[in-house]
Structure 1
């Protein structure tokens, strides 16, 4: 265990638990931001309240902790409106910076078997949206479909649907059935799902017939499927460590898809520290 003195003597700010990323990863994102949108601070006139690095920290901290923007502002000694502007401006930029990393991870995983599962992002009731209540999960929110590898890495997330939509229908309505058509074909690498995906993906548990119990072979098959399916649940739980997807999404639902994609990319970035330099190499203005 690190002592208090050791923590105080660290050469770099201890942001690992605040943001889920290392100082080097955050610095790389900040450099990528400036190479994408240009110099953060204006050459003349009023300077921004925070540096590009700290603005990235504010944005990632918000996604990681899901504190209200007023609390984030108090922590970083800026106003709520400043926090709101930084998040709105930098979230899409951070997402774009990590597009190449996500595309390569997804391409590498397409040759192997995958797992699909749905989860609920809590949103509360919204005035202009009906059907958010999920009878299965007994709460209100948006249904997201996650595609993960057998190692528990989430490589794709569907656009959000209302929480009342069944996972089987969501798999079709979001276009995942077409995007992963090869995995759902008999000749493909295969895709696993729970009983909600029977008839949608090739490998699912055996449903108990009304007229008999499951045989011992069928029970053993189901145990094997569920053992492998645990990987997608583990991957989803890692995504939900970014509390904006776990403790209540308060922003407009218009931004939920972009936010969920950004969180997925940040989670992959967090567990691939060797990819830090990639952010700079693949920045849209890296060659300018």
Structure 2
């Protein structure tokens, strides 16, 4: 009697199918965008058609599938899938709206306010000096800080560059000159208590950033301040929905790539999120 010690899944491994929770319209739009890019750069051949490449990239972004697993199931190398993901993310990030243009678009539509919030995207723990820079004492984790603006319905308008997790939200907004650009178009932003002190306008200027009242140990909130905080919290609730839509992309569950590439990744996901929400 001979022994058969070969693996159950065979030499090529198991291949399974899974549902991708995205619309067909988003897939077709991304495939057309990739076809146009390939035609522009004169790429006459790829290992897989544009539609299949778009499906693989969306599986990496939406379901956080490992490139190596997708590569084995499609007969290509892992580095090829990684290169496709980087290429498509770069195309999408280039279509992300700029801050000044996003604010001008809201002002032209007659909007008066935008919603402002920040969130930390978790990353793997870095080594050396990068370890301390990316650690957020507020959230007790390693991550990257991202600032986002939404309209009054929670639709994402703009996301900032990804900065080290120890950066405060006020510092990130001042780096992007947010209050100055809000005043230039005549808009106001509603934010939470983490942005108290961001608006450094004069006493006679209209506030560009509206926040609630922060209580202190020896200065509790008054009877009029508590209802004001409750009303502002209700108004700014849709911005949480905007971040929730963005974090539906599981690749943001814990970013394992170089933080320098995270800005392009988040802006690419902003474009895809708006496509999904608007359909």
Question: Given the alignment of the two structures, is residue 173 of structure 1 paired with residue 179 of structure 2, yes or no?
Answer: no
Retained in 2: the 8 A contact 1:41–1:48? no
Normalised by the size of structure 1, how large is the TM-score?
0.77
Question: Given the alignment of the two structures, is residue 268 of structure 1 paired with residue 274 of structure 2, yes or no?
Answer: yes
Structure 1 position 141, deviation (Å): 0.7
Structure 1 position 89, deviation (Å): 1.9
Counterpart Cα distance in 2 of 1:124 and 1:150: 33
CA 1:257 to 1:214, structure 2 compared with 1: closer, same or farther past 3 Å? same
Retained in 2: the 8 A contact 1:33–1:94? no
Q: Residue 118 of structure 1: SS of its match in structure 2?
A: strand
CA 1:149 to 1:62, structure 2 compared with 1: closer, same or farther past 3 Å? same
Question: Given the alignment of the two structures, is residue 50 of structure 1 paired with residue 48 of structure 2, yes or no?
Answer: yes
Matches within 5 A, 1:228-267: 228-245=235-252, 247-267=253-273
1:25 corresponding residue in structure 2: 26
Matches within 5 A, 1:99-248: 99=96, 107-110=104-107, 111-127=111-127, 129=130, 130-182=132-184, 188-201=186-199, 202-245=209-252, 247-248=253-254
Identify which range, 171-180 or 142-151, moves more after superposition. Answer: 171-180
2:65 corresponding residue in structure 1: 67
- CA distances 1:136-164 after superposition (whole Å, capped 9, x unpaired): 11100111111111211111111111111
Identify which range, 137-146 or 86-95, moves more after superposition. Answer: 86-95
Root mean square deviation of aligned Cα: 2.8
CA 1:178 to 1:100, structure 2 compared with 1: closer, same or farther past 3 Å? closer
Counterpart Cα distance in 1 of 2:256 and 2:99: 26
Retained in 1: the 8 A contact 2:189–2:210? yes
Count of residues in correspondence between the two structures: 249
CA 1:221 to 1:42, structure 2 compared with 1: closer, same or farther past 3 Å? closer
Retained in 1: the 8 A contact 2:96–2:268? no
Q: Residue 264 of structure 1: SS of its match in structure 2?
A: helix
Counterpart Cα distance in 2 of 1:36 and 1:50: 15
Q: Which has the larger radius of gyration?
A: 2
Counterpart Cα distance in 2 of 1:212 and 1:40: 63
Identify which range, 189-198 or 201-210, moves more after superposition. Answer: 201-210
Counterpart Cα distance in 2 of 1:119 and 1:210: 26
Structure 1 position 241, deviation (Å): 0.2
Q: Residue 38 of structure 1: SS of its match in structure 2?
A: helix
Structure 2 gap segments, 5+ residues each: 1-16, 200-208
